[in-house]
Amino acid sequence: MATKNHAQQQTEARLDNLTLARKEGWQRFVNTAARIPPEPLTRSQLEALGEAAFADYNRQRREWHANLGPIKTPQLAALHEDLWDIVDSNAQDGDKAKGAVAIDAFPGLGKTTSVLDFAKKFHRREINEQGTETNAGHERWPVCRVGLTGNTGMVEFNKAMLGFYAHPGVTRGKAADYAYRALDNVLSCETKLLIVDDLHFLRWRNTVGVEISNHFKYIANEFPVTLIFVGVGLAARGLFSEGHFYEDAVIAQTGRRTTNLDMRPFTIEGDEGRRQWRQLLLALEQRIVLADHHPGMLVDELSDYLFARSTGHIGSLMTLINRGCQRAVRTGAEVLSRELMDRVKNDAASEKARQELEIAFQARRLTTRIGKAG
C-alpha cells in the first residue's frame, strides 16, 4: 500500500475542517490521536540540522503551534459538566420531550471548540459502550453536526443533515422527503446528539425561522436526541423570550425547553481570576516549542501584555500565541517577546480594546499578578 506524501496529508487535514459536517470528516476528527509535540531543540542543535531536516522540523512546529488547543480551562470544564448533566438526563422514555441546550456567548470565547471537544468525548463513550453498529446492522453515529448559513431554511437544514450521513437522497425529492430521510437517519444511526452551529444566522422572526423552530420542537418531542445550539446573541434574538404574537410564542416554546449556557472571558478583578489566567498561560507556555523558550516567558514576562492584547478572550489569545510562534520560527527569533508580539496582528475586536487596557495596566489600575491590588 502506497504511503501518503506530505502534500496529500496536508490536503486531508484542510478538508477535515470543511467536512466536520460529513460523517467521514467527523470520524477522522474523533479518532485522530493526540498530536505529539516536536522535540525541543537548542539553537546549537538547530544550527546542526541539514537544510532538509531544518525545513521539516519547522514544518512540524508550524503545525504544532497552529493546533495548541483545546486547553482545559475552568470555563471549558464547567461547560462540559453541564453538558454531561443535560445529555445523560435526556436518556428518558420516548414519550418525554428532551431538553435542548443553547451555548450563547460572544465570539472568541471558545464555544465551538468546547462543544466539539465534548461531542468527541461523547461519541467515543457511546461507541465504546454500544459498538460501531446498531442492533439492526446500521452504522452507529452518536453525533450529527450541522452548520447554518444566512439562507438556511427547512430544506437546506434537512439536506445538511443528509449530507452529514452521506445519504444518496440529498440531491432529489421534496421538502417532506428531505425531512423524513434526515430524521430516519437519526433513528437508524441511533444519533443522540444533534449540534446546530452558528444558530445566530437563522432569521427567527420570519416564516423560515418559525418553520425551523417548529422543526426543532418536533425533533425534541419525537426523537431520542439532544439538540445543542451554538451561536452569538441568541437571547437578544429572542430565543428565550416570551412574546405576544404567534411567531414569538413559537420561538419562546423552543426557548422554554432550552437550557441556556454561556462561556465568559477571563477576568482579573480578584486573585481567583488572576490565578486562572496565569494557569492558562502556564499551560500554553509548556506547549510552545521554541529554541529560546524559558520558564516564565508568558506567565512572568507577558501576562499583563497578553491580557491587554486578548481582553481575556481565549480565542483571541490562542490566535495571538499561534501567530507569534509562527513569526518566531519563521524569523529565527525563537522566543516570544513583547518586541516580537507587537508586530503580530490580532482580531479587530481585541485590537480596538487594547489601548484602553494597556493604559489601565500602565496606571496600575489593573494587574494579573496575584496578591496585587489593581
User: With pLDDT > 90 as the criterion, what percentage of the chain qualifies?
Assistant: 60
* pLDDT for 149 beyond 90: no
Lowest mean pLDDT among 19-23, 45-49, 80-84: 19-23
Q: What is the pLDDT at residue 346? A: 92
* pLDDT for 125 beyond 60: yes
Strand 226-231 and strand 100-104: the pairing is parallel
What single DSSP character describes residue 199? G
Instruction: Determine the average pLDDT of the residues in 237-241.
Output: 57
Instruction: Determine the average pLDDT of the residues in 143-151.
Output: 86
Most confident of 29-33, 218-222, 288-292, 311-315: 288-292
CB proximity list for 264: less than 8 A, separation 6 or greater: 75, 105, 109
CA pair distance 15, 21, nearest whole angstrom: 11
* pLDDT for 72 beyond 70: yes
State the burial class of residue 365 (Cβ atoms within 10 Å of its Cβ: 0-12, 13-18, 19+): exposed
Q: Please, what is the average pLDDT of the chain?
A: 86
- Cell numbers found for residue 242: 416570551
Evaluate whether 20 touches 26 at the Cβ level (below 8 Å).
yes
* pLDDT for 38 beyond 80: yes
Instruction: Determine the average pLDDT of the residues in 165-192.
Output: 92
Q: What is the pLDDT at residue 78? A: 94
Residue of 206 and 49 predicted with greater confidence: 49
User: With pLDDT > 70 as the criterion, what percentage of the chain qualifies?
Assistant: 85
* pLDDT for 109 beyond 50: yes
Query: What is the chain's Cα-based Rg?
Result: 23
CA pair distance 202, 213, nearest whole angstrom: 10
Residue of 187 and 97 predicted with greater confidence: 187
> Cα-Cα-Cα-Cα dihedral of 12, 188, 133, 30, to 10°?
30
State the burial class of residue 77 (Cβ atoms within 10 Å of its Cβ: 0-12, 13-18, 19+): exposed
pLDDT tens, position by position, 325-360? 999 999 999 999 999 999 999 988 888 888 889 899
CB proximity list for 161: less than 8 A, separation 6 or greater: 144, 146, 182, 185, 186
Evaluate whether 369 touches 301 at the Cβ level (below 8 Å).
no
Instruction: Determine the average pLDDT of the residues in 222-234.
Output: 87
* pLDDT for 242 beyond 50: no
State the burial class of residue 318 (Cβ atoms within 10 Å of its Cβ: 0-12, 13-18, 19+): buried
Max CA-CA distance within the chain?
Answer: 73
CA pair distance 85, 87, nearest whole angstrom: 6
Instruction: Determine the average pLDDT of the residues in 110-130.
Output: 95
CA pair distance 38, 320, nearest whole angstrom: 20
What are the chain's domains? 74-261 (3.40.50.300), 266-374 (no CATH)
Instruction: Determine the average pLDDT of the residues in 43-53.
Output: 97
* pLDDT for 302 beyond 70: yes
* pLDDT for 245 beyond 50: no
* pLDDT for 251 beyond 70: no
Q: What is the pLDDT at residue 9? A: 52
- Other C-beta atoms lying within 10 Å of the C-beta of residue 369: 14
